[in-house]
Amino acid sequence: VHAFMKPGLELLSNLLGPDLLNLNHHHNTIFVQIYPASIVRALTIFRDHPECSFRQLIDITAVDYPEYKSRFKIVYHLLSHIHNQRLALTTLIDEVTPLQSATSVFECANWIERELWDLFGITFHDHPDLRRILTDYGFGG
């Protein structure tokens, strides 16, 4: 078990409290699942808490499970350089539920959220510039 993980899992559980749905680790990566409304709170905790220090948002991606009611799994990949630790933060949403933009926590989320909106139709509240980035405005998908 990675040095950060053993005390870190309990710490993360305590920090997230009722927002936490699932927490585990696999292949030196911490996996955290939370409620959609908790995204900005969790990202802020992971970035700012000194025992976490996940200060780099590597990527945000989505996995589409069209057969499920909450068809989109949104995955935020974070890195703590200080602890040499990776974290995957996930949440599940349906086709119409928007997420709060992560741009207030990580400015680099801007382009990634635009990509998710353009390719999957996932909307983000309070995004500073949610417009197409890859497809034409006449695209019907």
Least confident segment among 17-21, 97-101, 135-139: 135-139
DSSP, collapsed to helix, strand or coil, labels residue 92 as strand
The pLDDT, as a whole number, for residue 1 is: 43
Bridge partners of 88?
Answer: 31, 77
In angstroms, the CA 124 to CA 30 distance is 25
The yes-or-no verdict on residue 135 having pLDDT over 60 is yes
Note whether 58 and 32 are within 8 A (CB): no
The yes-or-no verdict on residue 28 having pLDDT over 90 is no
The yes-or-no verdict on residue 21 having pLDDT over 90 is yes
Mean pLDDT of the residues in the chain: 91
Reported as a single tens digit per residue, the pLDDT across 50-83 is 999 999 999 999 999 999 999 999 999 999 999 8
The pLDDT, as a whole number, for residue 3 is: 57
Q: Could you tell me which residue, 2 or 86, shows the higher pLDDT?
A: 86
Q: Could you tell me which residue, 71 or 141, shows the higher pLDDT?
A: 71
In angstroms, the CA 98 to CA 118 distance is 14
Q: What is the mean pLDDT of residues 22-48?
A: 95
Reported as a single tens digit per residue, the pLDDT across 94-124 is 999 999 999 999 999 999 999 999 889 999 9
